[in-house]
Amino acid sequence: MTNTLMSGKTCLITGATAGIGLATAAALARQGATVIGVGRDAAKCAEVQARLRQAAGAPAVTYLTADLASLAEVRRLAGAFTATYPRLDVLVNNVGAFYMGRRLSADGIEMTWALNYLGVCLLTDLLLPALKTSAPALKTSAPARIVTISSDMHRSARLNFDDLQGARQFSGMKAYGQSKLAQVMWTYDLARRLAGTGVTANALHPGFVASDLYQTSFGNRKWLSALLKLIALSNEQGAATSVYLASSPEVEGVTGQYFAKKKAVRSSAASYDSAATARLMEITAGMVESGAVASR
């Protein structure tokens, strides 16, 4: 079903070629938004773009290609976006992956940390001017929105400041949980920094979703796919809270919150640790600037 809730709004959605991100892109396009999806594979981007244009019945869906685990690629993407689009109403930081084994990004940064956390911070930072442009002069109405897909996996995580990139001891689960906790802490800090600008920032848990995430991580197994379809949410159901935070008038002006099932809920106690957040922000700024701090 189409509506015009988002007509005139520009939305950038990362990780929009599969899973929750693709379902989010489709839903926002159906609501009339101009959707710019980001994927890493040009052929897949072209195929998904054609499919969405047909399904949404509108040509206002475009894909840009970038490997978001690379800081140089993130910079290139932000440049390509801002060269074409003067404003950005909604940024959906959806991209994310789980890696069983430790591997390094092009910048020499552990992949989970590079993709799920650092790339998200850098892209958002580079797009803040476009988001601030979209926020109206009257800062209380229809602000621009940053929506970041975290995970309830953050709840059992701690930031291991002595070995943030698992150089000494690596666990895929711990790295994933840590990156998701860092996203929540960064979101809260970002919301504080953006107070008064008309730009809101919230994080969310999408639920347990039968996306490609598990196939990509554990191998493409038919039984796994069948099991997930039985016990997990569909991609469309998983996208519901992202779409809600991106477009619903009910959350206009709401910022610095963690959502699940379209409700603001408490995140883990660790996510509210202000001293750890300050330390994380300092480390993040250094890593984004230097681009390669493999030993940290």
Ligand X SMILES: NC(=O)c1ccc[n+]([C@@H]2O[C@H](COP(=O)([O-])OP(=O)(O)OC[C@H]3O[C@@H](n4cnc5c(N)ncnc54)[C@H](OP(=O)(O)O)[C@@H]3O)[C@@H](O)[C@H]2O)c1
Residue 234 is a binding residue for ligand X (CB under 6 A): no
Q: Tell me, what amino acid is at 98?
A: F
Q: Find the shortest distance in angstroms from Cβ 115 to ligand X.
A: 5
Among the listed residues 98, 92, 91, the one whose alpha carbon sits nearest the alpha carbon of residue 116: 98
Q: How large is the C-alpha radius of gyration of the chain?
A: 18
Whether 176 is catalytic:
yes
Taking CB under 6 A as the criterion, the residue among 6, 109, 149, 246 binding ligand X is 149
Binding residues among 193-222 for ligand X as defined by CB under 6 A:
205-206, 208-209, 211-213, 216
Q: Find the shortest distance in angstroms from Cβ 165 to ligand X.
A: 16
Residue 74 is a binding residue for ligand X (CB under 6 A): no
Binding residues among 34-53 for ligand X as defined by CB under 6 A:
39-41, 44
Which of 135, 203 has the CB closer to ligand X? Answer: 203
Q: Find the shortest distance in angstroms from Cβ 249 to ligand X.
A: 24
What's the number of CA atoms in the CB half-sphere (13 Å) around residue 196?
Answer: 1
Q: Find the shortest distance in angstroms from Cβ 94 to ligand X.
A: 5
Q: Tell me, what amino acid is at 45?
A: C
Residue 62 is a binding residue for ligand X (CB under 6 A): no
Which of 135, 164 has the CB closer to ligand X? Answer: 164
| Helices 240-247 & 19-30 angle (0-180, nearest 10) | 40
Q: How many residues bind ligand X (CB under 6 A)?
A: 29
Binding residues among 89-148 for ligand X as defined by CB under 6 A:
94-97, 115
Whether the CB-CB separation of 7 and 32 falls below 8 Å is answered with: yes
Taking CB under 6 A as the criterion, the residue among 30, 63, 67, 246 binding ligand X is 67
From the candidates 99, 176, 214, 244, which is the catalytic residue?
Answer: 176
Q: Find the shortest distance in angstroms from Cβ 238 to ligand X.
A: 6
Which of 19, 143 has the CB closer to ligand X? Answer: 19
Q: Using CA of residue 13, residue 19, residue 20, residue 25, what is the dihedral sign?
A: positive
- 239, burial (CB in 10 Å: exposed 0-12, middle 13-18, buried 19+): buried
Q: Tell me, what amino acid is at 267?
A: S
Q: Find the shortest distance in angstroms from Cβ 209 to ligand X.
A: 4
Among the listed residues 99, 158, 88, 153, the one whose alpha carbon sits nearest the alpha carbon of residue 123: 88
Binding residues among 5-34 for ligand X as defined by CB under 6 A:
15-21
Q: Is 242 left (phi over 0), alpha (psi -120 to 50) or beta?
A: alpha
**Strand partners of residue 147:** 92, 202
| Sheet-wide strand order for 61-65 | 61-65, 34-39, 10-14, 90-93, 144-149, 199-205, 258-260, 263-265
Residues that bind ligand X in the complex, under the rule CB under 6 A:
15-21, 39-41, 44, 67-69, 94-97, 115, 149, 151, 205-206, 208-209, 211-213, 216
Catalytic residue positions, numbered: 176
